[in-house]
Amino acid sequence: MNLYQQFIRGSQFWAFVKKEFRHIMRDNRTVLILLGMPIVEIILFGFAITTEVNNSKLAILDPSNDKATLHIVREMEASKYFNVVKIIHSTSEIATVFNRGEVDMVIIFGNDFNEKLNHTGGAQIQLVADATNPNVAVTLNNYASSIILQYQMELMMQQKVPYQIKPEIKLLYNPSMKSSFNFVPGVMGMILMLICAMMTSISIVREKETGTMEVLLVSPMKPLNIIIAKAVPYLVLSFVNLVTILLLSVFVLHVPVAGSIFSLTLVSIIFILVSLCLGLLISTISDTQVAAMLISGMALMMPVMLLSGMMFPVENMPKPLQVISHLIPAKWYIMAVKKIMIEGLPLKYALKEIGVLCLMAVVLIGISLKKFKIRLE
């Protein structure tokens, strides 16, 4: 008898999960948004909204014309970012080529470049960029610096001389400065948050709106089971999306998963849990689907986009915003993903992020359980 009852309870739970899947699958728009969104975002961020600048026009002023300068110019020409379009011979020409719009950047080598580089260490190089579009100028400067830096490193390796090189992490792990390295973790954080929190809260609030929640509460089904059953489909969908994003990033954007898949999944599960709890919390404070959507949009999406470091570096923000950014789960998730997926670091290097996420999960589950009511008020 007990076993039979357990079986019935079990089938009750699964019947509910099945019903949730029906709701999702029968609404073509939802299906399209849920499964299409990651694809669109990855492609948008990967290709359209790129901060990369390709094939910019470069002029060279090279009085040294030695082994080192030729090597650097060759590297510039070889990269996809630069095309050397003009060789100039005096500094007076610089203004002219810029005025005519012939070039985007001029590289000026100092005299006796190779000589100074190898012996005195005071080799001079000047990068002059057209800063009418400051973003482009900065990007070009970065590209050029990175190519020069790389040459310096090669030299170092050959000569085993410890130089005053200041290694920049970003360049180390993203030597080609691909913006997708930054966006893939961001998109992962955003999509998982959106699906788990927004969709879960909307689906719970919808039942409030149609009066079915009242009937379910009056049924023998345990209220907690109702909520868990509602979360299951979105958990599954989140995983589908996670896999989609990873496949797209590896095969379309060529951003490899450098670290362990297991660690990445573990971090994602914790983050999904946090998002589901947020969705549950939103559902307890909103009475209409529109309200749930607005709250998820305003309280979750905007901060994720703006404060998680996905689009703008947190370090450059004013202090108060930096403090607020610590409260955003997506920020920690994105940081952990960057470490594990992009930098390929072992799990222990992301312990801080994981710890913060776990703490958030525990607190949110606690609040959700406390706020969750078995009655209407």
Partner 1 sequence: MYAIQVEGLSKNYHSAKSGKYAGLGKPSASPDQVDGVTFDVHQGEIFGIIGPDGAGKTTLFRILTTLLVPDSGTAKVDGYDVVTELKDIRQRVGYMPGKFSLYQDMTVEENLNFFATVFNTTVEENYELVKDIYQQIEPFKTRRAGKLSGGMKQKLALSCALIHKPSVLFLDEPTTGVDPVSRKEFWGMLRKLKEQGITILVSTPYMDEAFLCDRIALIQDGIFLQIDSPQGIIDQFAQTLWAVRSNNMSKLLRDLRAHPAVDTCFAFGDVHHVTLSNDSYTIAELHDYLAQLGHSTIEVHVIKAGIEDCYMQLARRVDPHSNNH
Q: Which residues bind partner 1 (CB under 8 A)?
A: 8-9, 11-12, 15-16, 19, 22-23, 26-27, 210-212, 214-221, 374-377
Residues 34 and 300: their CA atoms lie apart, in Å, by 17
Instruction: Using alpha carbons, select from 292, 94, 265 the residue that is nearest to residue 194.
Output: 292
Structure tokens at 27: 């609404």
Nearer to partner 1, 157 or 376 (CB): 376
Q: Kindly tell me the burial class for residue 302, based on how many C-beta atoms sit within 10 Å of its own C-beta (0-12, 13-18, 19 or more).
A: exposed
> Closest approach of Cβ 212 to partner 1, in Å?
7
Instruction: Look up residue 314 and give its DSSP letter.
Output: G
Q: Least distance to partner 1 from the beta carbon of 11, Å?
A: 6
Quick one: 176 or 210, whose CB is closer to partner 1?
A: 210
Distance in Å, CB of 4 to partner 1, minimum: 11
Whose Cβ is closer to partner 1: residue 3's or residue 374's? 374
CA angle 260, 262, 266 (to 5 degrees): 125
Minimal distance, residue 14 CB to partner 1, in Å: 9
* Residue (29 or 319) nearer to partner 1, CB: 29
- How many other C-beta atoms are found inside a 10 Å radius of the C-beta of residue 158? 8
Name which of 126 and 219 has its Cβ closer to partner 1.
Answer: 219
How many helices and strands (H and E) does the chain possess? 17, 4
Whether the CA torsion 36, 29, 306, 304 is positive or negative: it is: negative
Sheet holding 56-61, edge to edge: 82-88, 56-61, 105-109, 125-129
Q: Give me the least distance between CB of 297 and partner 1, in Å please.
A: 23
Nearer to partner 1, 16 or 271 (CB): 16
The least CB distance from residue 1 to partner 1, in Å, is: 13
Least spacing, CB of residue 218 vs partner 1, in Å: 5
Whichever of 217 and 306 has its CB closer to partner 1, that residue is: 217
Give yes or no for a contact between 328 and 307, defined as CB atoms under 8 angstroms apart.
yes
The type of residue at 9 is R
Closest CA to 162 of 121, 113, 114, 110: 121
CB of 217 to partner 1, least distance (A): 6
Amino acid at 142: N
- Ramachandran angles phi, psi of 126, nearest 5°: -125, 135
Name which of 8 and 32 has its Cβ closer to partner 1: 8
